[in-house]
Amino acid sequence: MLLLAALSVGHTDITDLLDSDDTRVMLAALAQLGCRIEPQDDGALRVHGLGGTLPVKTAQLFLGNAGTAMRPLTAALALLASQHGGAFELSGIARMHERPIGDLVDALRQLGCPVDCLGQEGYPPLCLGNGQPQALNLGSPIRVRGDVSSQFLTALLLALPLVARQDIHIDVVGELISRPYIEITLNLLERFGVQVQRHGCRASPFRRAAATPRPGAFPSKATRLRPVTSSRWARWRPRRPAGTASPSRAWAWLPSRATSASWKPPD
């Protein structure tokens, strides 16, 4: 949720945010990347979105042992570095450098992102990008294992709207574990204006709209969110935030707003 808010246009107020090490690590990393975050009088945290770009081109982020920060930031920063140019180094404590991230690294390399493992191959620390924009391979399906960690697929789902200028497909290899967490991710994407449909376990999540608006064409709306704790599988549709005339368009900077995800059993 914090990463989505940081990537969006406008500001997002988040209430009842979990006070944890992972949360604090993510907040510190986003601030280091140039995102302005302000506590509000009512206890909410206001995140001012960066609109899909970063004011910094290089950064060294120390993420402790926060896997929920390492994985999504790896995907987002690898794609941003490839699209705009940049180089980001992600590291953590010794235990973090023992936690595998190779499946996500492989998926990003399939896309054409320069990703270097600075220690053991398939493990942090990582260097994302080489300072120069890169042409991305968005035409071929991205293969990612679903039986290792749902966080690899989650990271791709959160980051791929940054570059979704055509159909992008994800093939989930093997049985998808922790499906309720993927459902939460898809629901959050919908809350930020990404329309999602899914059937089974193969994703084609980012499909070009029939009429694609120019980037930033949608008006930005302030959004207020509460963290999701339920693992229900019910379909969720975005509601109109109080005081607004239309559903939130927090990801208005994306070039293809009407995105979709199709899920079906893997071969």
Find where tokens 């294992």 sit.
145
2-225 adopts what CATH topology?
UDP-n-acetylglucosamine1-carboxyvinyl-transferase; Chain (3.65.10)
Task: Look up residue 250 and give its two tokens.
Answer: 């927090």
pLDDT, tens only, 191-237? 887 765 564 554 444 443 332 222 322 223 454 555 543 322 222 23
| Cβ partners under 8 Å of residue 73, min gap 6 | 3, 26, 29, 61, 63, 90
Please answer whether residues 184 and 231 qualify as being in contact, where contact means their C-beta atoms are separated by less than 8 angstroms. yes
Radius of gyration of the chain (CA): 17
Domain ranges for the chain: 2-225
pLDDT, tens only, 46-77? 999 999 999 999 999 999 999 999 999 999 99
Query: How far, in Å, CA of 46 to CA of 148, rounded?
Result: 34
pLDDT of residue 225: 53
Q: Which residues of the chain have pLDDT under 70?
A: 195-267
Question: Cα–Cα distances in Å, from 223 out to 34, 231, 243?
Answer: 20, 22, 10
Alpha-carbon torsion angle 63, 68, 70, 71, nearest 10: 180
pLDDT of residue 200: 55
The values of phi and psi at residue 154, to 5°, are -55, -45
State pTM to two decimals.
0.79
Task: Look up residue 232 and give its two tokens.
Answer: 């229900």
Does the CA dihedral 105-204-174-153 come out positive or negative? Answer: positive
**Which 8-state DSSP code applies to residue 241?**
P
Relative to beta strand 142-145, strand 168-173 is parallel
pLDDT of residue 197: 56
H-assigned helices in the chain? 2-7, 21-32, 67-84, 102-111, 150-159, 179-191
User: Helix 102-111 crosses helix 150-159 at what angle (to 10 degrees)?
Assistant: 30
Task: Look up residue 264 and give its two tokens.
Answer: 């079906």
Helix and strand element counts for the chain (H, E): 6, 11
pLDDT of residue 247: 31
Query: How far, in Å, CA of 48 to CA of 6, rounded?
Result: 6
Please answer whether residues 2 and 22 qualify as being in contact, where contact means their C-beta atoms are separated by less than 8 angstroms. no
